[in-house]
């Protein structure tokens, strides 16, 4: 059975432009599914509806029409490595929070083995990092902590909203590889929304391209990356490659 299935999802928002009855159609009749262990990248430019889609898939927003079905537990990693972690909590406590919140553990000290395992999974040494505060971490380390927290309850599904967009070019790829490897080791399917098609091509098995709230192209990542059919998909690949070459030439990364 699919761990995530969305059928004909639509969502529009009212626009306050002085005229009554104006709407922006953020998500427009989207259907998608994710089988256990699969990985799906949802790609699109700014404002195409990616975050709205994530909020609908996670049940944080009610659709105007359509349905979402999720099986089992889900984990979430957001875009902002600075806003996403409580600044007053040490990393060990942050990572343990889903176990405590969901009643899987009663006391923090009972969570220690799972916290150590989850931090090791994202390649952070538990002895060094568990006592630190988020302010004592780099952006890439913070996203690893967010990933450890998302995976600690062994979810069947991980949803990631632009997880690398606020990171330096040089740490993007390593965090992306970690998302792929850590999810695979935990047996979690993942859906990642991003504007970075090269990054999705690197770690996702399937890719959907969104434009103005609709999916305009989808298929296996290799097919989309090597033989894109839509002009927008071709543009996204070309722009992504140009940006990458610029960084490679200028900074050797
Ligand atoms: N609460 C809201 N009220 C009104 N309009 C909204 C609301 N949330 C989103 N929108 C509009 O819906 C459209 C899709 O927004 P969304 O945030 O889903 O796009 P996105 O693809 O995630 O963009 P970005 O990559 O810039 O974060 C945009 O035109 C946005 O202005």
Atom 5 in ligand 1: residue holding the nearest Cα: 13
**pTM for the full predicted model:** 0.91
Q: How far, in Å, CA of 61 to CA of 87, rounded?
A: 27
Q: What is the pLDDT along the chain (253 residues), one digit of tens a residue?
A: 899 999 999 999 998 776 677 899 999 999 999 999 999 999 998 899 999 999 999 999 999 999 999 998 899 999 887 888 999 999 999 999 999 998 888 888 889 999 999 999 999 999 999 999 999 999 899 999 999 999 999 999 999 999 988 888 778 888 899 999 989 988 899 999 999 999 999 999 999 999 999 999 999 999 999 999 999 999 999 988 877 777 777 766 6
Which residue carries 């609908």 as its tokens? Answer: 56
Show the ligand 1 pocket: residues with CB < 6 angstroms: 13, 24, 26, 44, 46-52, 195
- ipTM for the complex shown: 0.96
Q: How far, in Å, CA of 157 to CA of 178, rounded?
A: 16
| Residues in Cβ contact with 22 at an 8 Å cutoff, skipping those fewer than 6 apart | 14, 15
Residue 29 token pair: 């009749």
Atom 24 in ligand 1: residue holding the nearest Cα: 46
- C-alpha 69 – ligand 1 centre gap (Å): 23
Atom 3 in ligand 1: residue holding the nearest Cα: 13
Which own/partner pairs from 102-105 qualify as long-range (CB within 8 Å, at least 24 positions apart)?
102/153, 104/153
């Amino acid at each position: 059975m699919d761990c995530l299935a969305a059928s004909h999802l639509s969502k529009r928002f009212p626009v306050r432009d002085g005229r009554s009855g104006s709407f922006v159609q953020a998500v427009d009749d989207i259907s998608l599914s994710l089988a256990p262990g699969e990985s799906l990248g949802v790609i699109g430019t700014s404002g195409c509806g990616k975050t709205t889609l994530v909020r609908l898939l996670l049940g944080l927003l009610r659709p105007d029409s359509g349905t979402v079905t999720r099986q089992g537990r889900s984990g979430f990693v957001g875009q902002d490595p600075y806003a996403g972690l409580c600044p007053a909590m040490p990393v060990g406590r942050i990572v343990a929070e889903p176990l405590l919140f969901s009643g899987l553990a009663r006391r923090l000290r009972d969570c220690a083995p799972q916290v150590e395992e989850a931090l090791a999974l994202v390649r952070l040494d538990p002895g060094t990092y568990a006592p630190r505060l988020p302010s004592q971490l780099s952006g890439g380390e913070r996203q690893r902590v967010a990933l450890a927290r998302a995976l600690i309850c062994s979810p069947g599904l991980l949803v990631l909203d632009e997880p690398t967009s606020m990171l330096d070019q040089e740490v993007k790829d390593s965090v992306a590889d970690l998302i792929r490897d850590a999810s695979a080791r935990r047996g979690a399917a993942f859906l990642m929304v991003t504007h970075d098609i090269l990054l999705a091509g690197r770690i996702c098995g399937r890719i959907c391209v969104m434009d103005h709230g609709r999916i305009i192209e989808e298929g296996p990542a290799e097919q989309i990356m090597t033989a894109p059919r839509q002009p927008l998909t071709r543009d996204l690949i070309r722009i992504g490659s140009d940006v990458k070459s610029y960084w490679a030439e200028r900074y050797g990364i």
